[in-house]
Amino acid sequence: MADPLLSHVPVRLKRLPHGHGLPLPAYATPGAAGMDVVSAEELILRPGARHAVATGFAVAIPPGYEIQVRPRSGLALKHGITVPNTPGTVDSDYRGEVKVILINHSPDNFPIQRGDRIAQLVVSPVTLARWDEVEELDETMRGAGGFGSTGGHAGL
Ligand SMILES: O=c1ccn([C@H]2C[C@H](O)[C@@H](COP(=O)(O)OP(=O)(O)OP(=O)(O)O)O2)c(=O)[nH]1
Ligand SMILES: [Mg+2]
């Protein structure tokens, strides 16, 4: 049988000194879209605070791809911990440490241990576009209507 990993996009990853001993980002199940990524540092995220959490590695994403940094729903639902810039964008030409920006929306301190799974990384193709500037745009049924123009939430 063909190796299923053959169809995976290879991404070069360099472990940084403070990342030694940590598991690499990994899919928790065979059908997972994101790889869980762990913290390379220990900290306490106070209520309302933000922090760019170290992951302990840098990457060279192949041209034509990006890595999206997304929150974990369990942390969001149970602890109010999310990624304020979600989806975070790691560009293919970025060679610095991958960081996970976290914010604590709960009234409680949120302690993070080294090795805790804090977010997930989705490797995704990027479509590059160019602008084709014109004087007039074609007409549509929607026109300029937006922001709830087709109807609001029941009761509003
Ligand atoms: O969650 C994130 C978001 C960004 N980055 C790194 C990789 C990315 O390639 C770089 C720049 O990110 P972005 O373009 O979102 O930030 P910016 O504020 O526009 O900074 P810059 O002017 O450096 O592009 O920062 C991360 O490590 N994690
Ligand atoms: Mg930028």
Block mean pLDDT (10 aa), the chain, length 156: 81 98 98 98 98 99 98 98 98 98 98 98 98 98 96 75
Collapsed DSSP state (helix, strand, coil) of residue 144: coil
Say if residue 90 carries a ligand binding annotation. yes
Q: State the DSSP H helix or E strand holding residue 88, giving kind and residue range, or none if neither.
A: strand 88-90
Res 4: pLDDT:
72
Strand ordering across the sheet containing 88-90:
26-27, 35-38, 117-125, 65-70, 88-90
Pocket probe for ligand 1: among 57, 65, 90, 120, the residue whose CB has the most ligand atoms within 8 Å is 90
Q: State the DSSP H helix or E strand holding residue 60, giving kind and residue range, or none if neither.
A: strand 50-60
Strand-pairing partners, residue 4, are none
In short, whether 85's Cβ falls inside 6 Å of ligand 1 is yes
Res 155: pLDDT:
65
User: What is the CA(115)–ligand 2 centre distance, in A?
Assistant: 28
> In this predicted complex, what is the ipTM?
0.99
In short, whether 126's Cβ falls inside 6 Å of ligand 1 is no
In short, whether 38's Cβ falls inside 6 Å of ligand 1 is no
Strand-pairing partners, residue 60, are 12
- CB 3: neighbour CB atoms within 10 A? 7
User: By alpha-carbon position, which residue is closest to atom 13 of ligand 1?
Assistant: 89
Could you give all domains of the chain from N- to C-terminal order, each with its CATH number? 4-125 (2.70.40.10)
